[in-house]
Structure 1
Amino acid sequence: MRTALPPITDDLGQAERDLREHGICLVTGVLTPAQLADVRSALYRAAKLDAQRNVTHSGFKLDYGEGNHRVWNTLSLDPVFADLVEHPVALRLVRSVLGWPALLGNQSANIALPGCVGGMLHADQIFVQEPWPALPQGCNVAWCIDEFTEENGATRFVPGSHLHHRPPGEDDRDISVPAVGPAGTVVVFESRLWHRTGENRTTDRTRAGLFGWYTRPIYRAQENWFLSLNPRILEGASDDLLVLLGYKTEGLGKINGRSPR
């Protein structure tokens, strides 16, 4: 079993190799400081509005305790989130894992609050019946909106666990290691890799991550975009975004034999 994650890189070719070998890559230099500041401001503004309305979305089934603030359907909240969904680097790495077309299953955020106790070890394709296929069925693109450190709750991964082709069981030890990196780092990992939210052991620092979940086109999206999506997102949407949301199809989901758009 491997004991370490691949190092952070700014070489996308190396990132693709890391994905093939390790099931995960960490990429830096993707967002400008201004882009990162815009995303961070939009995310914390959305979280603040949730708190004001007493809608904190804590208690998610993979969380322990109430220390993780989940912000759902971020795609509908601000155009900056749509920009990340179809960011060229994100889509290049998604294509390297899943091919094309792919579907966007969800885009949400997790803010690990000071003192949170972390989360449950899991793999993202737990919806796939065992035995699992030889290839991953999904891919997560995690944007580090804040610096990710071991102390503030960086997402933790079990290196090499994707090679088990199964979810973690009761007898599996949690030998996870944190994916640490500066704010703006992109962590892309395939759906068989075991991981969990880390413990935020600080008393005054939050750790925000934005997660785009992509799947092969045969799977139903976690978020029902046709009911929940803010219509503004479709105004001037690119073909790639329409494919990701299921509004334009290159395979399944046709209407009378043709793509909806």
Structure 2
Amino acid sequence: MGSISSYKPQLVTLDSDTPLEEIVNAIKRDGGCIVRNLISVQSLAKVKAEAQAALDADVPTTGTFFPQETRRTYSLINASPTFSTDIVTNKTIVDIAKSFVTSTHSYWSGKRRTAVSDPQVSATGALVLGPGSKPQDFHRDDHVWHQGPRKAVTEYADGRDAQLSVLIAATKATEENGATRIIPKSHLWDDEREPKWEDGVAFAEMEPGSGFFFLGSTYHAGGENTTKDEFRHLYAIGYIRGYLRQEENQYLAVDQEVAKKLPHEVQDIMGYSVSAPFCGWVKYDQPYKMLRGETLGPRDLY
């Protein structure tokens, strides 16, 4: 892992009512930032209660990516209705995601057309880091989609990333109990440079209800929990470009009987909608019609 650098950069922390442009610019500059006061204490309590059974059923992994002391639940939309309505589709969160992973494409098909593909949820989960948990290796989230090859740049360019990741603090996250580690500005690196402690590591320390937003190209890692009795709870969401395959297949991970009862905006962001112009259709029609018992096309998806 290398020796810990004495240089410890700080992540920018902004309030949820900060203008969207300022939040987006902070992420573009540093690769990530913290936004305070996103989710209410009441909503966090509901999510925790709804997800507890799934967390209790989790068993340690046999691999090394998640420490043995970590408990997690995937498919958090399936476990917690409140997570889907109060967090996944939270307006501030979605607006930030749209700023990075909305795709606009113009093309000819009889006439000049423009298609706007909105973000979709790639994966969700609850991550509970227990005492004694060791740190993860630094990694980028977007290797799932074979991103690259990327060249090193000095300034961020729109369209460079395929994913925006969000971690919501359900409990206080501190350096001592395993706050996520990030190497600021590593989103500007090429694909060959190895992430090291000497590059300067910041800690995403947060109060409950805050969110840590970071790009798929930003090197980060789960922290080390050196406490004796503190458990760090985070809720994770990955938003990806609408035309990409999801990391966690939402159509199978969330039971259809659960999906049918979700608000239409939650169904859409899970991927039960066509990514314009026509990626993800069923019988050349909108897949959400299957959930709603409506007659499927075919129809003109333009």
Q: TM-score, structure 1 length as denominator?
A: 0.88
CA RMSD of aligned residues (A): 2.4
- Quote the Cα distance in structure 2 between the aligned partners of 1:114 and 1:223: 27
Call closer, same or farther: CA 1:26–1:12 in 2, change over 3 Å.
Answer: farther
Deviates more, 1:161-170 or 1:243-252: 161-170
Question: Contact 1:57 / 1:70 at 8 angstroms: preserved in 2?
Answer: no
CA distance in 2, matches of 1:165, 1:243: 34
Equivalent residue for 1:18?
A: 26
- The match for 1:201 is 226
Q: Give 1:34 deviation, angstroms.
A: 1.2
Measure how far apart 1:9 and its partner are. Answer: 2.6
Q: 2:142 aligned with 1:115, yes or no?
A: no
Q: Secondary structure at the match of 1:210?
A: strand
**1:26-175 equivalence runs, <5 A:** 26-48=34-56, 50=57, 55-63=58-66, 65-83=67-85, 84-99=87-102, 100-127=117-144, 128-132=146-150, 135-166=160-191, 169=194, 173=198, 175=200
Which string of whole-angstrom CA distances, capped at 9 and with x for unpartnered residues, describes residues 25-76 of structure 1? 211122222112212333344312x1xxxx324345523x412222111111
Counterpart-to-counterpart distance in 1, 2:210 and 2:282: 39
1:80–1:168 distance in 2 versus 1, CA, 3 Å: farther
Q: Residue type of the partner of 1:107?
A: T
Residue 240 of structure 1 aligns to a residue in which SS? Answer: helix
Partner of 1:226: 251
Greater mean alpha carbon deviation, residues 184-193 or residues 245-254: 245-254
Q: 1:17, CA displacement in angstroms?
A: 2.2
**Alignment-mate amino acid for residue 105 of structure 1:** S
Decide which moves more: 3-12 or 202-211: 3-12
Q: 1:170 to 1:101 in 2, by over 3 A?
A: closer
State the shift of 1:95 in Å.
0.5
Determine if contact 1:141/1:187 at 8 Å carries over to the other structure.
Answer: yes
Range moving further from structure 2, 131-140 or 190-199: 131-140
Looking at structure 1, the residues matched to 281 and 227 of structure 2 have their Cα atoms a distance apart, in angstroms, of 50
Deviation at 1:168, TM superposition (A): 5.6
Distance 1:90 1:211 in 2: 12
Q: Retained in 2: the 8 A contact 1:106–1:222? A: yes
Q: Tell me, yes or no, if the aligned pair for 2:34 and 2:213 is still in contact at 8 Å.
A: yes
Cα displacement string for residues 152-201 of structure 1 (whole angstroms, at most 9, x for unaligned residues)? 00011001100104376377746322111111111111100100000000
Question: Structure 1 CA distance, aligned partners of 2:237 and 2:193?
Answer: 22
| 97-106 vs 150-159, greater mean Cα deviation | 97-106
Q: Which amino acid aligns with 1:108?
A: G
Other-structure match for 1:258? 285
Output the CA distance in 1 between the equivalents of 2:63 and 2:254: 21
Counterparts in 2 of 1:167 and 1:248: CA distance versus 1, 3 Å: farther
Name which of 6, 18, 31 aligns with 2:12. Answer: 6
- How far apart are the structure 2 equivalents of 1:60 and 1:209? 20
Amino acid in structure 1 at the alignment position of 2:55: A
Give the stretch that moved more between structures: 187-196 or 228-237.
228-237
Note the residue ranges of structure 2 that are not aligned, 5 or more in a row: 1-6, 103-116, 152-158, 290-302
Q: Tell me, in whole angstroms, the C-alpha distance in 2 between the residues paired with 1:203 and 1:37.
A: 23
Answer with 1 or 2: which has the greater Rg.
2
Q: TM-score, normalised by structure 2?
A: 0.76
Alpha-carbon deviation of 1:227? 2.1
The CA distance in 2 between the partners of 1:2 and 1:163, in whole Å, is 19
AA in 1 matched with 2:78: S
Cα distance 1:235–1:255, how it changes in 2: closer, same or farther (>3 A)? closer
Number of matched pairs: 255
Deviation at 1:131, TM superposition (A): 0.5
Gaps of 5+ in 1: none
Percent identity of paired positions between Structure 1 and Structure 2: 21
Judging changes above 3 Å, is the alpha-carbon distance between structure 1 residues 129 and 29 closer, same or farther for their aligned structure 2 residues? closer
